[in-house]
Amino acid sequence: MNRMAHEWARDRGGVSSSAAATGPGAIPDTAGGLLSWAKAALTEAGIANAENEAVWLLESSLDVNRLELMVHRARRVPEEERTRTVTLIRRRAAREPLQYLLGTQEFCGLEFEVGPAALIPRPETELLVQTILGCPLPSDRPLIADMGTGSGCIAVALAQALPGATVYAIDRSRTALDLARRNAARHGVTARVVLLEGDLCEPLRDAGLEGALSAMVSNPPYIPDGELFGLQPEVSRYEPRLALAGGADGLGVVRRLIAGAAGFLLPSGILALEVGQGQAPAVRRFALEQGDFEHVQTRLDDQGIERAVCLKRKG
């Protein structure tokens, strides 16, 4: 039992809910009152899942689980924990992403540290990992590059799933690479996730990896610049623009990746790209026009959107 839960369980009587703080704008000082206040604050802020998010944030700030929170609703919350809770709720009401506040996000069955240095891992991006794992690779000890690694979720998931693989995790952001480094250590794959700082293929060239890779994978920025401010506040205000903005039509970085990837892939090497809604036909067309790739498959996400485009280098 954690420290706070032990203290709560030790004093079942606590104080009655009538002891909660009162008055205009006052913050309740019991667990139940604080939970009700949090739910109301998040609802007013337009948070769709306000009730569950209030519970999750109180679980984190008070170091208790949902059952303990419900059983000890009348228990007075110490000032330090109450202040921490109010701060978290107010940040979430300002539309800071829940995952940044909790500090973690699940991806491919693994828990990753997350923060504002990188995009929050999303379920649809798991399609990229599934695509690489489902393709025959031209080596039994593959070298794989994760272009724009961010939190390192793709690189770490692939290293976990492919014990013989070495994954080069590339990003322009040093703070993102620091986050990826911690996630690689968290899952015990530091020795096989090589972090490289730089823009797209340049670090691969510096490392002498021309013609050496079995696969390249990327969740690149693909939001058209003009659409950024129309995104949810959690995305437009808090997630890094570098990982979102894809140029006028959203495909600027995607085209650069396709144009540069063939020089680093082995014959029959795989290039897997996440793309936005409606972008897959243009991506396939550009890749075929380049002449170095053939289209293998395009996978749909849970909304039926063409999300992961898989290409194979000719030869």
The pLDDT, as a whole number, for residue 179 is 98
Q: In the prediction, which pLDDT does 77 show?
A: 92
The pLDDT assigned to 315 comes to 82
Tell whether the model's pLDDT for residue 313 goes beyond 70.
Answer: yes
How confident is the model over 165-217, as pLDDT tens digits? 999 999 999 999 999 999 999 999 999 999 999 999 999 999 999 999 999 99
- Check if CATH label 3.30.70.260 holds for domain 103-313: no
Q: Which sequence spans correspond to the domains of the chain?
A: 3-94, 103-313
pLDDT computed for residue 176 by the predictor: 98
Supply the pLDDT for residue 25.
55
Beta bridge partners of 193: 167
